[in-house]
Amino acid sequence: MKFGILINEGPFTHQAADTAYQFAKAAVAAGHEIFRVFFYHDGVNVASDLAVPPQDDRNVTDNWVKLAEANNIDMVVCIAAAQRRGLLDANEAQRQGKRADNIAPVFRISGLGQLVEAGIECDRLVTFGD
Amino acid sequence: MAEPWEEENEGKVKKFMFINRKAPYGTIYALESLEVVLITAAFDQDVSLVFTDDGVFQIKKGQTTAGIGMKNFSPTYRALEGYDIEKLYVDKESLDARGLTAEDLIVDVEVMSRAQLADLMNEQDVVMSF
């Protein structure tokens, strides 16, 4: 089955990004395809390259980066939601005159059309959040 | 020029339902979710909106937000018609519990029982709940 995943809550404050990760890992292991993971609302914070959780805790961003790299998963961060919350890729940081960028390499910034496309193309779009 | 996804998805129409459950202010869900609704309509999909729980306050008449320093985005709901979004449903129990009627709302809606909404939900291809 072709799955799309929507993550609506930020890491650590909320379990959504962890549960979605477990779901995606299990889906891939069972031979399903993850068409795209879309990060929206506070979920965009998962893409931050600058998070440094305590060493005895899981690293939500690293978990996703490894899973995405190993399985070539398309990881999309909503541009409007990201900019509002201070998440910028190198291009946007330069364009907005900001001194740093913080989007981890495996993620890409794009628009909400990518979420709608996932809804159209996937057999199931699964939402993780409140 | 058409984007690649526009050509790929030409003619593919799915039934998208957006379930609005939260108050318009206090959290960002209502505002950011409205963005998804508008983009979905721009993709020419079959869009329905449901307002339930505190979500019914999103379309209440007479919102004044100056006191909380936030933009009153309720006029956007009146613009939905211009995007051919005309399927607006409101949960009767949620209205009743808050002492509201359809007369208190800024847009024309169909007031439904929870059983009716459940049937409608069953007919959808994609359900996003915010």
Amino acid at B80: L
Q: Which domain holds residue A60?
A: 2-128
Please check whether residue B6 lies inside any domain of the structure: no
Instruction: Inspect the interface and report whether the beta carbons of A41 and B125 lie closer than 8 Å.
Output: no
Those residues with Cβ within 8 angstroms of residue B46's Cβ, 6 or more apart along the chain or in another chain: B13, B14, B15, B16
Residue B12 tokens, joined: 């593919």
Contact B29, A41 (CB under 8 A): yes
| Residue of A6, A8, A112 lying closest to B39 (CB–CB) | A112
Give the closest of A112, A120, A121 to B36, CB-based. A112
Q: State how far Cα B118 lies from the chain centre.
A: 16
pLDDT tens digit string along B69-107? 999 999 999 999 999 999 999 999 999 999 999 999 999
Q: Which residue of A has its CA nearest to B21?
A: A130
B39·A40 Cβ contact <8 A: no
User: Are residues A8 and B130, on separate chains, in Cβ contact within 8 Å?
Assistant: yes
B115 occurs within a structural domain: yes
Exactly one of A65, A77, A78, A82 is catalytic; name it. A78
Split into its structural domains, chain A has a count of 1
CATH of the domain at A30: 3.40.1260.10
How many domains is chain B built from?
1
Cα–Cα nearest to B42, from A79, A122, A111: A111
Tokens of A107: 């993620």
CB contact under 8 Å between A113 and B125, yes or no, is no
The minimum CA-CA distance between A56 and chain B, rounded to whole Å, is 32
Question: Listing from the earlier edge strand, what are the strands of the sheet with A33-39?
Answer: A107-110, A75-78, A33-39, A2-7, A124-128
Count Cβ–Cβ pairs < 8 Å, chain A vs chain B: 47
d(CA B38, CA B87): 13
> Considering the domain boundaries, does residue B84 fall inside one?
yes
pLDDT single digits (tens) B1-12: 455 555 555 689
pLDDT of residue A130: 87
Residue B113 belongs to some domain of the structure:
yes
Can A78 be counted among the known catalytic residues? yes
Range of the domain at B84: 13-129
Tell me the pLDDT tens digit for each residue of A40-94.
999 999 999 999 999 999 999 999 999 999 999 999 999 999 999 999 999 999 9
What local confidence, expressed as pLDDT, does residue A73 receive? 98
The dihedral through the CA atoms of A121, A127, B3, B4 has a sign that is: negative
- B11: closest CA of chain A, how far (Å): 11
Exposure string of A69-104, with b = 16+ CB inside 10 Å and e = fewer, is eeeebbbbbbbebbbebebbbeebbeeeeeeebbbb
CATH no. for residue B105? Answer: 3.40.1260.10
Residue A116: its chain B contacts at CB < 8 A? Answer: 16, 36, 39-40, 43, 45
Q: Please name the residue that has the structure tokens 């291809």.
A: B125
